[in-house]
Structure 1
Amino acid sequence: MTNIIDMQDVSWKRQQEAILSNVNWKVSRGEHWAVLGLNGSGKTTLLNMVNGYIWPSTGKVNVLGQQFGKTDIRELRKSIGWVSSSIQERIKETAFAVDVVVSGKYASIGLYEDTTEEDYEKAYQIMEQVGCRHLTDRTYQTCSQGEKQKILIARGLMASPDLLILDEPTSGLDFISREELLSTINHLAIQKDAPSIIFVTHHIEEIMPVFSHMLLLRQGTVFDKGERSDLLTSSCLSAFFDTSVRVEWHRDRAWMTLQD
């Protein structure tokens, strides 16, 4: 399997309205991608399709070498780590952090299966890896927003996924918490056994150096895709946002401001 994601001429309609149109996108094994787009650009719809929660109206979707329509989507999801606000909202506030992490093995919200000592040992190791081991016995409701996001990332890693999707994971974080979380994600991505990571944002300064490739999504279509250095330019992003912007680089990260 060389392609983690392979979408060919994919479109999706809701009540006759085109939400995604003619999307072609391939993610190769070992690549980490950032998906950039404004609110309403189709980012969440695209992710829901990768996870098999919706099916294309037209076109073909292959995820982890499995073609939609010819595979068990429930089994496929066990190989995909998923971090999003929709999951955070469904977690029981009184659940212990370590139990939230262990539930990721079963791709469930809450623990309903018989667990083992090995499950918890693995959870402790992952929590140490992402910097939240000290939260083990804390209830979810007592954790800060940044701590909750780290717990969810640990949960997403529990099943040793081949693909980890981070849907705007820094949303709601203050500057310090955001930078700490971005550092955690960057550290995770450079590990030898790291899954391919899809990082979704609408802030270009959050696109860390480890994200070598980018997909620019606008109004449900692929505006452009390719290497980060080619797309994070003043000319490209001015055309993408349809407004004049300036991109400046600092410590291998791009920062954008409106042109005077």
Structure 2
Amino acid sequence: MNTTVARLTVRGLLGRRRALILLAVPVLLLAVSLAARSSGNDKHDLAVSVLGQLGLGTLVPILGLIVGTGVIAHEIDDGSIVYLLAKPLPRWKITTTKLAVAVGASWVFAALPMLVAGLIIYGTKDNLALGYTVGAMAAGAAYSALFLLLGVVTRHAVVAGLGYALVWESLVGNYVKGAKTLSIQQWGLSVAEAVAADGVLTATVALGLALALLVGVASIATILASAKLAGLTLTSDE
């Protein structure tokens, strides 16, 4: 990890407009959690709906898209990436540093608010809040790597990522049984189930398979992004 690259990446990621978008995700989740707590409905069902469907199913992938593409896509689009590529740094180190920033941002703006929202709705009972938090951390890391790759390989990363996050993860991955095995959300849910007390959560993907797929997707996406970055030439057209 290169501290200079990390500092510049954080500065670019937390620009005024993008910072407001990042803050909107936890604010929305916490607002919904407070409203759900006062609704008087079953707390377990509320927690599963808010943390599982809204949080892990929608807000975590969207935030992963924002930070994953945000750490590199704008530099490629405006051509400023050439100044970074001109430095005597291995391309893999640039990629992994930017990924570390993206993962850290996803944990701060998604996983941590998941914990707070879970405590608001359900407290510490059955490790439900902790389970969803750890699940969001695992899924957030995979989303960050996947969307970082999209940011490197296409200028339409946000559009492609939104299609994946909203169509595949939020719709297909939730309701089509066979597709659940290929859903990062479902892999994160498997991790959440393992952390929570027995019988509190139900996942369709076995924990061992989920962990292997999470690590595999993150690793392959990082390797491919590094390889693509290594192929970029130092011209303003890039």
Higher helix fraction (1 or 2): 2
Higher strand fraction (1 or 2): 1
**TM-score for both structures, normalised by structure 2:** 0.27
Query: Which structure carries more relative contact order (alpha carbon 8 Å, separation 6+)?
Result: 2
